[in-house]
Structure 1
Amino acid sequence: MTSVPTVLLLSGSLRAHSTNTAVLRTAQAVTPAGLHTVLSDDLGALPHFNPDDDHDPLPPAVAAFRARLRAADALLFCTPEYAGGLPGAFKNLLDWTVGGGETYGRPAAWINVSGVAAPTGGEDAHAALRKVLGYTGVRVVEAACRRLPLARQDVGADGLIASPEVRAHLQAALLTLAAHA
């Protein structure tokens, strides 16, 4: 019996009506049969990273986050860019992945939703994300990475993106990640 691959969805935004989180909620809503997705809610719960605290027993929020990482077969990120880099809370989440080894060898990709008005289109954040993921041993699956410029008004009242084109891209990204899991 083959197990169903699980993709952990990780948003880099704490914003209540984040376009990045809406994309991941939409990915979860359109997850193809034979695949399971879990939307991480760890971002705001993690304590500030301190290497002195990166040992057993871990802070409870870190232990729970690392358990979700261990249970995942692949990772899908969607993060905004702030001041030319990764948002602080998201960088903190990533810092907690460095010492644990749970992401080593995991296939990962990201969805870039920066609007056309963004100065770099989110490229600086994704370059920083690529660099950090390199330290954690993640395998970036380029074929699953997508650039889907969206605006807040693209998110419906239900918190999802209705565009069939966006939904098709999200399904394709998930299937590509699953194929590498």
Structure 2
Amino acid sequence: MNTVNILAISGSLRGQSLNSTLLRAVISMIPSQETVVNYSEMAQLPHFNPDLDIDDADTAVANWRRLLKEANGVLICTPEYAKGVPGSLKNALDWVVSSGEFVSKPVAVISASPHPDGGSTANNSLLGTLAMMSASVVEGGTLTVPFINQKLGSNEEIIDSELRLNIENLLNALFQEINNNVVS
């Protein structure tokens, strides 16, 4: 089996984001033989404008599209903001609606929040956007995490055994779907 390339995306630009911390903890659980790129250039993407969506797009947009094309699968971890996904994540997704990098791409989605609903509205919103983009959100590849602030340790590790098991199951589902795509 060849090395699997995963593009990991935090929906938050905030430096101390719990979702970014959770994403790094999830990345640490991915087997070392796999390649993971933790996308960190979302803030460099310009505001989406269809007039600028051309072949020689902005360098940040071109890099974003290249990373998505090269990825065998995508892992998104996002907070909820104003009952939806943060604008920066939605903007990033808008840049690839017409170019099609998400078409049939295996994707897993995590939404985490310090609140009891675990960011379920953002999760549902993101799933709707990904479905419209024809992404392949894997069965067993969605997770909402309530009270995330109580489930992460000071060293960016997951200290909640149930969450750790849920993340392992989500990663297994993502890798299984990627492997199915490689074989077919």
Please say whether Structure 1 and Structure 2 have the same fold, judged by a TM-score greater than 0.5.
Answer: yes
| Aligned AA (1:4) | T
Q: Say which structure, 1 or 2, has more relative contact order (CA 8 Å, 6+ apart).
A: 1
Which has the larger strand fraction? 2
| Structure 2 contact 106–138 (Cα < 8 Å) conserved | yes
Name 1:89's counterpart in structure 2.
88
Q: Which residue of 1 aligns with 2:14?
A: 15
- The CA deviation string for residues 76-129 of structure 1, in whole angstroms up to 9 with x for no partner, is 111111111111111101111202111110011211222344xx4422211211
TM (norm. structure 2) is: 0.87
Match of 1:127 among 112, 121, 124: 124
Match of 2:175 among 170, 174, 178: 178
In the aligned structure 2, how far is the partner of 1:150 from the partner of 1:20?
A: 12
Distance 2:39 2:106 in 1: 17
One-letter amino acid of the counterpart of residue 122, structure 1:
G
Q: 1:73·1:106 contact (CA, 8 Å) conserved in 2?
A: yes
3-state DSSP of counterpart to 2:14: coil
Corresponding residue of 1:45: 44
Counterparts of 2:171 and 2:95, CA distance in 1: 24
User: What's the offset of the Cα at 1:145?
Assistant: 1.5
How high is the TM-score relative to the length of structure 1? 0.88
Q: Residue 33 of structure 1: CA displacement?
A: 4.7
Query: Which stretches of structure 1, 4 residues or more, deviate above 6 A after TM superposition?
Result: none
Residues 156 and 162 in structure 1, CA contact (< 8 A), matched pair in contact too:
yes
1:49-74 Cα offsets, whole Å, 9 max, x none, are 11111112110001111111011111
RMSD over aligned Cα atoms = 1.9
Percent of residue pairs identical: 37
Mind listing any 5+ residue stretches in structure 2 that lack a counterpart?
179-184
Instruction: Measure, in 1, the Cα distance between the counterparts of 2:118 and 2:29.
Output: 25
Is 1:17–1:159's contact at 8 Å kept on the other side of the alignment? Answer: no
| Amino acid in structure 1 at the alignment position of 2:124 | A
Q: Which amino acid aligns with 1:45?
A: Q
How many residue pairs match? The answer is: 178
